[in-house]
Chains A and B, each alone.
Chain A
Amino acid sequence: QKEVEQNSGPLSVPEGAIASLNCTYSDRGSQSFFWYRQYSGKSPELIMFIYSNGDKEDGRFTAQLNKASQYVSLLIRDSQPSDSATYLCAVNGLVDNNNDMRFGAGTRLTVKP
């Protein structure tokens, strides 16, 4: 059974702090990893994706992948109230299509002014 596990939260951080969101997955053959942000009542939107071990940075966001530990994380630097949302971790057994994508239940992040 493939599973993607996330702490449901809520995770609360003060404005300007670093928010750290974590995700573990059970399928060791997983190939691609995604973080989506979902505001309340809205659809998920892609924040980051990562395929290789290590870190990938995009602006205030850094995705970290450790395939040996089956662990992927998302760091948000200089957190803003507008970052308050649910963050979904998604793990795909394939690289070139989405037919094997599995989602975690999401971590709710609150950034307090």
Chain B
Amino acid sequence: NAGVTQTPKFQVLKTGQSMTLQCAQDMNHNSMYWYRQDPGMGLRLIYYSASEGTTDKGEVPNGYNVSRLNKREFSLRLESAAPSQTSVYFCASSERPPLHFGNGTRLTVT
């Protein structure tokens, strides 16, 4: 039972490049989330999906897009990366509280 799987684990981008962070869960959860974690800021919600086919903005959605491909998968896309998007990104899923987190993606934008 893998839980929540994120890929890649590490990524370095140049300003303006695009990339997609992948997330998959095998717990049959309806809800999935993307957070970013920055020093001194705590986890902040970027986007969430309450069920397959729906997505909603969180606290810090600017510069990101998401796709809920099916019940298992929820991807996060950076169309034109900026240095301010340097962060650790966590995907999470749940049916009800608490959240179950993936292992994170450390993204650096130079």
Contact = CB atoms under 8 A, between A and B. Distances in A.
Contacts of A109: none
Interface string B30-46: 01010000001111110
A97 B54 CA distance: 15
Contacts of A103: 42-44
Contacts of B50: 97, 99
Contact of B42 (A4, A43, A98): A4
Nearest to B40: A105
A98 B94 contact: yes
A43 B104 contact: yes
B42 A49 contact: no
Nearest to A104: B42
Contacts, number: 58
Contacts of A106: 42
B101 interface: yes
Counting chain A residues whose Cβ lies within 8 A of the other chain, the interface size class is: 20 to 34
B40 A98 contact: no
A60 interface: no
Contacts of A34: 97-98
B97 A92 contact: yes
A96 B30 CA distance: 12
A8 interface: yes
A88 B102 CA distance: 16
Contacts of A101: 45, 97, 99
Interface of B: 31, 33, 40-45, 48, 50, 56, 90, 92, 94, 96-99, 101-104
Instruction: Please give me the 5 A-B residue pairs with the lowest Cβ-Cβ distance, nearest first.
Output: A43-B101, A103-B43, A103-B42, A105-B42, A46-B98
